[in-house]
């Protein structure tokens, strides 16, 4: 089988490519604007195409026409961008991705669309269930929800094609994937920017302040990237279970952001022998990210659907973060942050 991975140079994409190349079952074509995170990933079954498919006339259609399965991971996934550039988020996360959906329809290709757990928005039950939970987001002037809304509308377009019978698809809703190659770190003391791990790891490496947005009481369920990559393989092997969304997460790894900071500080001391002395600073969400920010105290994912196909997460919370942090500790501060 030939698999096209759009966004192969990102965190999820690069780990997925490495996983599939190691399996050795398929021919893989990866596309992205950078292959930096694919360093060391090589094999006769893997081809990388360096390109911005939104700017390359005809390239995307040719690639899709020549493949069997398309995995679309292209997205902006950064809260600061949601706040500062909501139109760019809509353009990339919805408009550009709809073009991929239409090309899969035109050429009869199976689509794996990576969405987000954020489509659920604010809690509406004890656990997020794919085909039962309400999708509730904040008001228009809280543009932080533009990411969730763009992804949700994309899912609805895909579902509508499935109802019409002209698209075979699987929607993946990731719950906080973490692992090696996760994010680029940021200068100590930076506000906004990438996800919590990047800020916390940067602070531990440099001794800078650790910001707890809105006190750090928000809860997240973290998933090891290796478990996430294996989930793709399981879903790929079960096309009969397609034309629906699947939560991919680890309910057992539920923790608050404040508790995560404590865990990362313990792991840092374990791995380096140095006791962190970072200052914990509570900061309002709008001060950290900008006006229009809002967050949610998420509940855990229900993963019954993908469990029924034989997938089960294997990495506990401590192992997940120990392996992720170890991948950064081999670099010097100067090379790790930029």
Question: Domain containing 166 — which CATH number?
Answer: 3.40.50.720
Q: Any idea what the Cα angle at residue 95 is, between residues 159 and 38, rounded to 5°?
A: 95
Q: Residue 278 and residue 73: Cα distance in Å, rounded?
A: 35
Q: Is residue 15 part of a domain?
A: yes
Cα separation of 39 and 327, whole Å? 14
φ and ψ of 172, to 5 deg: -105, 125
Which of 120, 147, 211, 268 is catalytic? The answer is: 147
For residue range 278-287, list pLDDT tens digits in order.
Answer: 999 999 999 9
Tell me whether residue 306 is in a domain.
Answer: yes
Is 162 a domain residue?
A: yes
Total number of domains constituting the chain: 1
| Tens digits of residue pLDDT in 35-69 | 999 998 988 899 999 999 988 889 999 999 999 99
- Does residue 197 lie in a domain region? no
pLDDT band (50, 70, 90) for residue 262: very high
The secondary structure of 109-121 as a DSSP string is -EEEEE--GGGGB
- Tell me which residue of 318, 192, 313 sits closest to 264, measured CA to CA: 318
pLDDT of residue 95: 96
Q: Residue 333 has what pLDDT?
A: 38
Is 288 among the domain residues? Answer: no
pLDDT of 335 > 70? The answer is no
Is residue 187, in this structure, part of any structural domain at all? Answer: no
Asked if residue 265 is part of any domain, the answer here is no
Range of the domain at 117: 2-182+222-253+299-315
Q: How many CB atoms lie within 10 A of CB 337?
A: 19
286/290 Cα distance (integer angstroms): 4
Residue 12 inside a domain? The answer is yes
Lowest mean pLDDT segment, chosen from 96-105, 183-192, 261-270, 311-320: 183-192
Query: Would residue 82 show up in a list of annotated catalytic residues for this protein?
Result: no
């Amino acid at each position: 089988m030939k698999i096209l991975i759009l966004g192969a140079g990102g965190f999820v994409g690069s780990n997925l490519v490495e996983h599939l190349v190691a399996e050795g079952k398929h021919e893989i074509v990866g596309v992205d604007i950078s292959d930096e995170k694919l360093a060391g990933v090589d094999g006769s079954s893997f081809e990388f195409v360096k390109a911005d498919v939104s700017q390359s006339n005809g390239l995307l259609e040719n690639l899709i026409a020549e493949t069997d399965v398309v995995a679309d991971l292209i997205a902006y996934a950064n809260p600061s961008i949601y706040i500062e550039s909501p139109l760019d988020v809509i353009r990339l996360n919805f408009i550009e991705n709809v073009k991929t959906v239409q090309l899969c329809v035109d050429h009869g290709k199976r689509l794996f669309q990576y969405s987000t757990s954020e489509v659920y928005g604010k809690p509406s039950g004890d656990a997020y269930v794919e085909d039962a939970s309400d999708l509730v987001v904040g008001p228009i002037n809280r543009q932080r929800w533009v990411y969730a809304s763009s992804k949700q509308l994309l899912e609805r377009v895909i579902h509508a094609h499935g109802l019409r019978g002209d698209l075979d698809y699987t929607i993946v809703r990731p719950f906080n994937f973490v692992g090696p190659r996760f994010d680029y770190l940021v200068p100590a003391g930076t506000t906004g920017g990438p996800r919590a791990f990047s800020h916390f790891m940067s602070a531990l490496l440099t001794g800078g302040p650790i910001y707890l947005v809105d006190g750090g009481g928000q809860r997240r369920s973290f998933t090891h990237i290796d478990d996430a990559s294996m989930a793709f393989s399981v879903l790929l092997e079960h096309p009969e279970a397609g034309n629906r969304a699947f939560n991919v997460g680890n309910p057992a790894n539920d923790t608050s952001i404040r508790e995560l900071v404590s865990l990362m500080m313990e792991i840092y001391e374990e791995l380096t022998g140095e006791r962190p002395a970072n200052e914990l600073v509570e900061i309002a969400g709008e001060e950290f990210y900008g006006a229009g920010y809002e967050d949610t105290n998420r509940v855990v994912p229900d993963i019954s659907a993908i469990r029924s196909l034989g997938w089960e997460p294997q990495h506990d919370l401590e192992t997940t973060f120990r392996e992720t942090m170890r991948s950064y500790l081999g670099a010097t501060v100067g090379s790790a942050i930029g």
